[in-house]
Amino acid sequence: MSAFEELGVMPELVKAVEELGWMLPSPVQAEAIPLILGGGDVMAAAETGSGKTGAFAIPVLQIVHEALRQRVRSGAAASSSGRGGGNAGGGVASPAAECVLSTEDRDLHLAVSSDGCTAQSRSEKSWGGVRATMGVFASCGGKVYYEVTVNDEGLSRVGWSCSTAALDLGTDRLGFGFGGTGKKSHQRQFDSYGEPFGKGDVIGCMLDCTGGGSVSYSKNGRHLGEAFKLPPHLQSQIFLPAICLKNAEATVNFGVTPFAHPPPPGFIAMTKAPAAWIAAAASAAAAATSSTAAAAAADGSKPDCIILEPAKDLAEQTANCFTDYGKHLHAPAIRTGLFVGGVDAVPQIRMLREGVHIAVGTPGRVIDFVESGKIPLDQVRFFVLDEADRLIADNPDVVTKIYNRLPKGGTGVNRLQVLLFSATLHSTEVKDMAAKICVNPILVDLKGKDAVPETVDHVLVRVNPAEDRSWLQSKPEVFTDGCHAVDCIGPSTATTRECLSEATKRLKQRLLQRLIDTLRMEQCLIFCRTNYDCDQLERFLNSLGGAGGGGGGEGGFRGKMESGKENPYSCVVLAGARSMDERRAALSAFKDGDVRFLICTDVAARGIDIKELPYVINMTLPDKSEDYIHRIGRVGRADTMGLAISLVSEVPEKVWYCSVKGLKPWLAPDASNTKTTDKGGHTIWYDEKALLGAIETRLGRSIPSMSEDLSLPAELAERLAAGGDKYGQQRGGGVSQEVTAHLEQIAQNVQHLASLEWHVQTSFLRLKQRWQSAQG
Ligand SMILES: Nc1ncnc2c1ncn2[C@@H]1O[C@H](COP(=O)(O)OP(=O)(O)OP(=O)(O)O)[C@@H](O)[C@H]1O
C-alpha cells in the first residue's frame, strides 16, 4: 500500500500524483488530507512550496467525486424511470437500478464499503446511521423486502426511514427500527418485539405498502409479526432502507445476490420492484427544495466546491492542478472551471451552463457570478480560501457574502467544509474570520509561526549611494521611474535626499546586472513594486540584451527575444497591467525556460509554482512583511535549493503611490506632480530600512548580507558546499529529507523481516537435509 493510500486517498488520485513523481505525502498533506476526508474544517499553515495545493485538492477531489458518483447513480435511475412514464412526481427509478448504501446520506463516523453493501461504525459511544440510495413510495401499493446480515458483536438497528429522518433510526416520527436487543423503536419509544439478534443473524426488513402500510421483520427466515403500522400522515412519503450501528458491522442485500432466506409470500426484492414504486434518494431529498435545484442536482452540474484565489495566475495554476490530480477520475469525470476577471465572461458563463463541479476563481468575478445567479451555490459542500490571509485582508466582504449564501448542510456528511490555507495564517483578521465561517476548525500548523523553508537561503545587498558613487556614470543607461524628473540630480547635489533617492534607483538596476553576471543566472524571478517599475526594468534588460526586445506592440509579447536562452538578459513581464493572454504567455515562456528573467509585481508573490527556480531578486522590499515570505518562497520549493536576494536601500527612496485603487500616477494627467501625497502629489518616501526591521522581527532573525563583491555570506557558502548543494537543484543529491526519514523509519522493520526470512530459509534447508539423510 502506498503512503498516499494509507491516508485514505483513492487509487485514481494516488496514480495521478505518483505520475507527478510524488513518492510520499509532504508533512502538510499527511496531516490535512485525513482531516478533510474525515469531514472537518481545516486551517493549514505550512511553509511556501510545501505542497498545500495537493493537501486540499486531493481530498476535495475525492469527496466531490464520491458525491457525484452517488448523484449520477441516483439521477440516472430517476431519469430512466421518468422516461418510462412512471410516477408523475419524477424521481422514479428503473427496476434494474442499483440500490446501495449511500456514501452521502450517512453519519461521518460510519464507513460504507466501496460496493455500497457493508457499513461499519466503530464508535462505542454513539450510533452511526446510513440510508440506501433508493426508497419506496409508501403509496405504491406493493410489498418490498431486503436483508441485513449482522457481521459482529456490536449493536445494530435496522428498518426504514424517510430521507429527512434522523440517521439514528427510530428516534423520531419519520423512522422505524428493530434493534439487536429485541426492541422495536419509533419516536424514541423502545418496545419489546420479536427476539434479540446478533452476530451471524440475518434480519429481513419488510415494507408492506398495501392497506395503509406496515413494517415487519424476520429473523433467519422466521417472520416476527407486524412491528408498526404506518401513520396516515406518512402514507405519502418515500421510505428508504436504513440501518444504524454502534461499534458494529452489517451487510445489506437489496436483492442483487440471492437472499439468505426467501422473502415472505407477496414480497419482492427492492431491486426487483417496478419502476413506479421506487424513488431515488437524491430526488426525494431534492423534492423538498426548489424544483430547479432538484432538476440540476440530478445531472450533477452545479459546483460542489468554490475555491477563491487572490490572483488570476494563481487561480489558473490551481485549476490546472485540479485537472492534473483528477485526470484518472472517470465515470463521472470532474469538471473544473476557471472564473477570473479581465477576460471575456461569455465562455465562462457557457462553461457554467455545461456544468462545473469545482469552481476556482478570483473574488471579483466569483462574487459577480454568484450575485447574478450564474454560479449556483445550493450544492456547494467545500469553500476553500487559498492564500486565506490575503483574501481576508483584501476582500473580507466577498468572503462573508459568499459564505452567507452557502448551504451549511447541517452536521452530517453533507455539511459545508471550510478550508483555509496559507504560509502566513497567523493574523488576527484570519482568526476573527475563521471564528465566523468555520465550525471547530482543526489547525494544522507545522511551525507555530511564519517560517522560511530550510531550502530557501536569503540575503541582502545593501545599496548605499553615499558610498557607491558609480551611479554617476552614464553607462549602461538606466531607466528609473521619473519620480525625480523635476529634481536637480548630479554631482553638485549628490547629498540631497532627492538625489540620493534617484541614485538608489540607478544603482539598483546596475547591481541587478552585476548579480546576473556574477552568479551566472540562468533564470530568476525579479519582483518590482509597481507595473511601471516592471516596464522600466524590462527596458533596461532589453537594452542590455542588445536586441531591443522582440515584439513590444500593443498586446504583443513584449520583451520576448527570438532566441531567449542565448540572450543573457532575456525577460518577460507578469504584472497586473498586462492582459491575461500576455501574462499567461510570459509565465509559460519562463516556465519552459525560453526566457531567463520574469519581472513581476506582487501578483506573482503567492502560490506561483515554477519548478527548480534557482533565484529570486527583490528590487524593492514589499511593504507588507508577510509578502516577503511569499515572494522568497518562489524558490526552495519541493526540496529544491534556492537563493533570494533583496536590494535594500540605506537611504529613503521616493516612489509612486496609488492613492486611488486602480490609478496609475505615472500615467495620470498631472504625472509631473512628483510632490508627496501630503502635498497634493503622487509620491511617498519609502523607508526600506524600516521595512527590513519589520521583516526581521517577524522572522525572529536577521538576514545576512552579501559582501561587496557579491559573494555569498560565509555561513551560507559553507553550508551549501558541505551539502554538495546547488541552487535550482534538489538538496542532498535529489533524495528529499522526508524520503530519507521514511527510509530510516522502515529500515529497522526491513532488517527484522530479512532476519526472519533467513531463519525460515535455513531451518527449512536443515529440515530438508535431515529428511534426505533419513531417506538414506
Ligand atoms: N508530496 C509531494 N511530493 C513531491 N512533490 C510535491 C508533493 N506535493 C507537492 N509537490 C510539489 O511541490 C511544489 C509546491 O507545491 P504547492 O504549489 O502546492 O506548494 P504550496 O505549499 O501551495 O506553496 P505556496 O505557499 O507558495 O502557495 C509543486 O511543484 C508540487 O508539484
Q: Model confidence at 299, in pLDDT bands (50, 70, 90)?
A: very low
More confident residue, 274 or 96: 274
Q: Whose CA is closest to atom 12 on ligand 1?
A: 638
52 lines ligand 1 (CB under 6 A): yes
- Mean pLDDT on 373-385: 95
- Report the 10 Å Cβ neighbour count for 735: 13
Where does the pLDDT of residue 81 fall: very low under 50, low under 70, confident under 90, or very high at 90 and above?
Answer: very low
The domain defined by 3-78+301-445 carries CATH number 3.40.50.300: yes
Interface pTM (ipTM) of the complex?
A: 0.99
Percent of the chain with pLDDT over 90: 64
- Is 50 exceeded by the pLDDT of residue 552? no
- Which helix (H) or strand (E) segment holds residue 456: the answer is strand 456-463
Residue carrying C-alpha cell 476526508: 37
Ligand 1 and 634: CB distance under 6 A: no
pLDDT of amino acid 113: 87
- Atom number in ligand 1 closest to CA 387: 27
Q: Quote the pLDDT of residue 389.
A: 96
pLDDT of 301 above 80: no
Quote the ligand 1 centre to 315 CA distance (angstroms): 15
How remote is the C-alpha of 349 from its chain's centroid?
23
Cβ(25) to ligand 1 under 6 A? yes
Whether 574 shows a pLDDT value over 70: the answer reads yes
Q: In this predicted model, which residue has the larger pLDDT, 190 or 668? A: 190
Asked whether 26 lines ligand 1 (CB < 6 A), one says yes
Compute, in angstroms, the gap from residue 241 CA to the centroid of ligand 1: 44
Out of 111-115, 144-148, 598-602, pick the least confident.
111-115
CB 177 within 8 A of CB 157: yes
- Give the distance (Å) from ligand 1 centre to CA of residue 41: 21
pLDDT at 372: 94
Distance 52 CA to ligand 1 centre (A): 6
How do residues 697-737 score in pLDDT, each as one tens digit? 999 999 999 999 999 999 999 999 998 899 999 987 655 56
d(Cα 61, Cα 6) in Å, to the nearest integer?
Answer: 17
- Ligand 1 pocket test target in 50, 422, 627 with most atoms within 8 Å of CB: 50
Over residues 446-487, the pLDDT tens digits come to 777 888 999 999 999 999 999 998 888 888 899 999 999 888
Report the range of poorest mean pLDDT among 89-103, 158-172, 251-265, 314-328: 89-103
Please state, as a whole number, how many other Cβ atoms lie within 10 Å of the Cβ of residue 229: 13
User: For ligand 1, is residue 633 a contact (CB within 6 Å)?
Assistant: yes
pLDDT at 768 over 70: yes
Q: Is pLDDT larger for residue 103 or for residue 452?
A: 452
Q: Would you state the pLDDT for residue 384? A: 98
CA of 628 to the centre of ligand 1 (A): 19
What the block records as the C-alpha cell of 370 is 454568484
**Ligand 1 pocket test target in 609, 613, 616, 626 with most atoms within 8 Å of CB:** 609
Whether residue 642 has its Cβ less than 6 Å from ligand 1: no
Please tell me the CATH superfamily of domain 456-733, with its number: P-loop containing nucleotide triphosphate hydrolases (3.40.50.300)
| Residue 762: count of CB within 10 angstroms of its CB | 10
User: Per-residue pLDDT for 289 more than 50?
Assistant: no
More confident residue, 564 or 687: 687
Contacts of 289 (CB under 8 A, 6+ apart): 378
**Which tens digits make up the pLDDT trace of 314-356?**
999 999 999 999 999 987 889 999 999 989 999 999 999 888 9
For ligand 1, say whether the CB of 559 is within 6 Å of any of its atoms: no
pLDDT of residue 653: 95
- Mean pLDDT score, 583-610: 95
Residue 634 near residue 423, CB atoms below 8 Å: no
Describe the chain by its helix, strand, coil percentages, rounded to 5. 35, 20, 45
Q: Residue 554: what pLDDT?
A: 35
Same CATH fold assignment for domains 101-287 and 456-733 = no
Q: Which atom of ligand 1 is nearest to the CA of 634?
A: 26
**The pLDDT value given to residue 437:** 96
User: What are residue 111's DSSP bridge partners?
Assistant: 120
Which CATH class name applies to 101-287? mainly beta
pLDDT > 60? residue 87: no
Q: Which of 47-51, 584-588, 661-665 has the lowest mean pLDDT?
A: 661-665
Point out the least confidently predicted range of 53-57, 133-137, 329-333, 658-662.
Answer: 658-662
Cβ within 8 Å of residue 320, ≥6 positions away: none
Instruction: Work out the average pLDDT over 410-436.
Output: 89
Looking at per-residue pLDDT, the higher value among 114 and 743 belongs to 114
CA distance 82 to 314: 43
Average pLDDT over the chain reads: 87
Pairing of strands 524-527, 615-618: parallel
Query: Does the pLDDT of residue 291 top 50, yes or no?
Result: no
- Does residue 332 have a cis bond before it (omega within 30 degrees)? yes
| Mean pLDDT on 567-583 | 93
Assigned C-alpha cell, 318? 490551481
Residues in the chain: 776
Domain boundaries, the chain: 3-78+301-445, 101-287, 456-733, 735-776
Kind and range of the H or E run holding 19: helix 11-19
Burial class (CB in 10 A: 0-12, 13-18, 19+), 709: exposed
Q: How much distance in Å is there from the Cα of 68 to the middle of ligand 1? A: 27
Whether 63 has a pLDDT exceeding 80, the answer reads yes
Q: Is 48 in the pocket of ligand 1 (CB under 6 A)?
A: yes
Q: Which atom of ligand 1 is nearest to the CA of 423?
A: 25
